[in-house]
Amino acid sequence: MNYAIGVDLGGTNLKAGIVDIDGKVHQRLSVKTDYHADSQTISDQIFRLIDTLISMAHLAKSDISGIGLGSPGHIDKRGETILYSPNLPQWRNVPIKNMITKRFVVPCILENDANAAAWGENWAGAGKGTSSMVMMTIGTGIGGGIITENRLWRGANNVAGEIGHMIIQASGRKCKCGNHGCIEAYASATAMVLRFKEALESGTQSSLKNCDEITAKMINDAAFQGDKASLDIIKETGQYIGIALLNIMHILNPETIVLAGGMTGSGELLMAPIREITKQGTFEEPYKDTKIVFSELGNDAGIIGAAGCLLKELETSV
């Protein structure tokens, strides 16, 4: 009983791994999520993935202490049902925790995917050894997770950590959530591409100007090749993120802030303006004592964190 299974359910990929009590992944498996399918079809896909993973690892079900599932979207207060997930259109009111428990006859814990990833980084990654940490995931959208006193802070309705919907500009750009001025509407990969296209339309020159389709990766690659427009847009994105982190530092004063997701591929091009903004705007002591770092676990953070949440739950229930 030294292993747990961590499952990371995403709109694009469904990933799972066998994780030991030290946070090491011994076997991993990933398949494309059938995200347009009904909830039963996706649930069956999760079951098959777990069965295949156990078989690949040559383990008996008795070797598994439990299963942790990290899922996007909103989870009910009891942590049993996925109420809805924007990236899985037909995934509504699914009691997946009980379904997994009955199917595999082991304990299961259901956690928001960003919370799970944050726990993974705190347990075995960039935040290891710290009791307070905030993780900000920057990709197609922006998410986050908050850890205080070695515990996930889920909030009264299980929706704490929605960093992407922190408003940084009153009456600003409209966000997909319906509000205006959210950080996600400025600093996500989607938003950065939109702002870059707007700059090109206004006359800004770039090596990407005549490209039919522009992606965040293309902007990043062009920046590393010295394209000024790309460098400027990444710098501006880092400044927006810095404003969000400044607010987090003032409100929560964490020991560590971990940045994760595809946007972190910009490395120091993104980190330099973040450090500049936070240094200018926060108090001297918190700035010196708060580490702002990139994720260490990468794509494994979700599965490690989901398994870690399960192991933590078993530990505290003893």
For residues 46 and 89, state if they share a domain: yes
Report whether pLDDT(88) > 90: no
Q: What is the pLDDT of residues 37-75, one digit of tens each?
A: 888 999 999 999 999 999 999 988 788 999 999 998 889
- pLDDT band for position 193 (cuts 50, 70, 90): very high
Which domain CATH number covers 207?
3.30.420.40
Residues 1-18: pLDDT tens digits? 689 999 999 878 899 999
Q: Are residues 73 and 158 in the same domain?
A: no
Average pLDDT over residues 23-32: 94
pLDDT of residue 286: 83
Do 312 and 239 share a domain, yes or no?
no
Kindly provide the b/e burial profile for residues 271-280, where b requires at least 16 CB atoms within 10 angstroms of the residue's own CB: bebbeebbee
pLDDT on residue 1: 61
204 DSSP 8-state letter: -
Quick one: average pLDDT of 129-142? 93
Tokens representing residue 52 in the block: 């295949």
The number of residues making up the chain comes to 318
288-307: b or e for each residue (b if 16 or more CB lie within 10 Å)? eebebebbbbeebbbbbbbb
Q: Are residues 183 and 287 in the same domain?
A: yes
**260/171 same-domain check:** yes
CA 47, 53, 58, 63 torsion: positive or negative?
A: negative
Domain count, the chain: 2
pTM: 0.90
Whether 139 and 285 share a structural domain:
yes
Same structural domain for residues 34 and 147?
Answer: no
| Whether residues 11 and 76 fall in one domain | yes
Q: Same domain for 190 and 289?
A: yes
Q: What is the pLDDT of residue 116?
A: 95
Give me the pLDDT at residue 140, please: 84
- β-bridge mates for residue 75, sequence order: 82
Q: Give the pLDDT score at 73.
A: 84
Pair (20, 136) in one structural domain: no
Residue 305: what pLDDT?
A: 97
Mean pLDDT of the chain: 93
Task: Please tell me the predicted confidence (pLDDT) of residue 230.
Answer: 98
Q: Three-state SS across 97-162?
A: HHHHHHHHCCCEEEEEHHHHHHHHHHHHCCCCCCCCEEEEEECCCEEEEEEECCEECCCCCCCCCC
Q: Are residues 268 and 155 in the same domain?
A: yes
Q: State percent of the chain over pLDDT 90.
A: 81
The answer to whether residues 305 and 235 belong to one domain is no
Give me the sheet containing 64-71, strands edge to edge. Answer: 25-32, 13-20, 3-9, 64-71, 108-112
Give me the domain span that covers residue 238: 129-295
